[in-house]
C-alpha cells in the first residue's frame, strides 16, 4: 500500500506557500535543511539592499475555515517550549486558506505575557489555545513584525550594555583612586564595546561627542599614570581629578539610559505603543 499524505500536511504546505507569496521584497527567506522541529521559515530583513541582522523564525499553521474576529488555534506546548530556547523572535503564522487571511503572534512573548500571566500550569498541558488578535493581520502588519525584530536586537544590546557597564564599574569604583595603565586600558576596551551597541544608543541617545570626551578622559588619565609611574599616588590622583569627575558623569548618563530602558520593559522586552495594542 502506498503511503498517504495527511490532509493537515497538505493544508500546511499550501499555507506556507501563501505566506511566502505575501512577503515583502525586503524579507529574505533563508534555507532550512530540516523542518522536523517546528520551524518552517527563517528570514532576515534587508533595507536599502543591505542586511540588518534582524532575523526571525516562523511556524505556519493552515486552516480551511474563515477567521472570525479572534482566530484561535490549539497549539502543542512542546513547540512553545522549543521556541523559548531561541534568542531571535519565533512567530506562529495562522493562515485561512478560505479568505487568504494571515494572523500571527510572537510566540515567546505570547508565552510570557499571556500564558504565564493567565495559566501557570500551561506547561503541564499537551496543548494550549493561542488567540490571534484581529489587529495582527499580516497583510497590514509586516511593519509591526519588523518593529518587533528591532526591539529584540535593542533588548539584546541593552543586556550587553548592562553587563559591560557592570564590568567598568567593578574596575572604576574599586581602583580609580589607584588607577594605572592596565586598568585604564581594560576600561577603554569595554568602552569600545559599549559604543558598538549602536541599536541601543539609537533608541536611547548618547552622542558620539560624549563617547569621544570619555575616551579623551581615559587617554589623559593613562598618560598621567605612565608619567607618574606610581611614584606619587597623591599627585596622580590630583592630576586626574577633573578627568575622574567627568568620567563619573559619563557613567551616570549611561546608567540613566539603561534605567529608561528598564522602566519601559515588560517581561523580556519593552513595548512600543506605535506598534499597536497587542505587544505580541
Give the model confidence (pLDDT) of 86-142 as tens digits. Answer: 988 999 999 988 888 899 999 998 998 889 888 889 999 999 999 998 888 887 778
| Statement to judge: residues 179 and 260 lie in one domain | yes
pLDDT > 70 in the chain, percent: 88
Of 40-44, 48-52, 151-155, 267-271, which gets the smallest average pLDDT? 267-271
Among candidate residues 83, 102, 136, the one where a domain is terminated: 136
**Structural domain boundaries, residue 78:** 7-136
Judge whether 276 lies within some domain. Answer: no
Predicted TM-score of the model (pTM): 0.74
- Position 223 in a domain: yes
Indicate the average pLDDT of the chain: 83
Residue 12 lies in a domain: yes
Same domain, 163 and 132: no
Are 123 and 219 members of one domain? no
Q: How many domains does the chain have?
A: 2
* 36 occurs within a structural domain: yes
Based on the fold, state whether residues 105 and 20 are members of the same structural domain: yes
Q: 11 and 130 share a domain?
A: yes
Whether residue 273 lies inside any domain: the answer is no
User: Do residue 106 and residue 201 come from a single domain?
Assistant: no
**Secondary structure string (H, E, C) spanning the chain:** CCCCCCHHHHHHHHHHHHHHHCCCCCEEEECCCCCCCCCCEEEEEEECCEEEEEEEEEEEEEECCCCCCCEEEEEEHHHHHHHCCCCCCEEEEEEECCCCEEEEEEHHHHHHHHHHHHCCCHHHCCEEEEEECCCCEHHHHHHHHHHHHHHHHHHHHHHHHHHHHHHHHHHHHHHHHHCCHHHHHHHHHHHHHHHCCHHHHHHCCCCHHHHHHHHHHHHHHHHHHHHHCCCCHHHHHHHCHHHHHHHHHHHHHHHHHHHHHHHCEECCEECCHHHCCCCC
Amino acid at each position: 500500500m502506498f503511503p498517504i499524505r495527511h490532509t493537515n500536511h497538505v493544508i500546511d504546505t499550501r499555507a506556507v506557500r501563501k505566506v511566502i507569496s505575501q512577503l515583502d521584497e525586503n524579507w529574505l527567506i533563508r534555507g532550512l535543511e530540516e523542518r522536523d522541529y517546528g520551524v518552517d521559515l527563517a528570514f532576515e530583513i534587508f533595507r536599502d539592499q543591505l542586511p540588518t541582522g534582524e532575523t526571525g523564525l516562523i511556524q505556519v499553521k493552515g486552516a480551511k475555515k474563515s477567521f472570525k474576529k479572534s482566530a484561535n488555534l490549539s497549539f502543542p506546548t512542546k513547540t512553545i517550549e522549543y521556541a523559548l530556547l531561541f534568542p531571535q523572535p519565533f512567530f506562529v503564522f495562522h493562515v485561512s486558506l478560505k479568505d487568504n487571511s494571515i494572523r500571527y503572534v510572537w510566540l515567546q512573548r505570547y508565552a510570557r505575557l499571556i500564558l504565564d500571566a493567565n495559566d501557570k500550569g500551561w506547561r503541564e498541558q499537551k496543548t494550549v489555545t493561542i488567540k490571534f488578535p484581529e489587529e495582527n493581520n499580516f497583510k497590514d502588519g509586516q511593519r509591526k513584525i519588523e518593529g518587533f525584530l528591532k526591539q529584540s536586537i535593542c533588548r539584546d544590546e541593552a543586556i550587553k550594555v548592562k553587563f559591560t557597564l557592570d564590568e567598568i564599574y567593578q574596575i572604576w569604583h574599586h581602583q580609580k583612586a589607584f588607577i594605572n595603565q592596565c586598568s585604564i586600558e581594560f576600561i577603554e576596551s569595554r568602552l569600545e564595546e559599549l559604543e558598538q551597541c549602536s541599536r541601543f544608543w539609537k533608541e536611547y541617545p548618547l552622542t558620539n561627542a560624549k563617547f569621544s570626551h570619555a575616551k579623551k578622559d581615559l587617554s589623559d588619565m593613562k598618560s598621567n599614570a605612565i608619567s607618574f609611574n606610581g611614584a606619587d599616588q597623591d599627585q596622580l590622583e590630583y592630576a586626574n581629578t577633573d578627568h575622574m569627575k567627568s568620567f563619573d558623569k559619563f557613567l551616570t548618563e549611561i546608567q540613566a539610559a539603561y534605567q529608561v530602558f528598564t522602566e519601559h520593559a515588560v517581561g523580556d522586552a519593552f513595548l512600543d505603543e506605535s506598534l499597536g495594542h497587542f505587544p505580541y
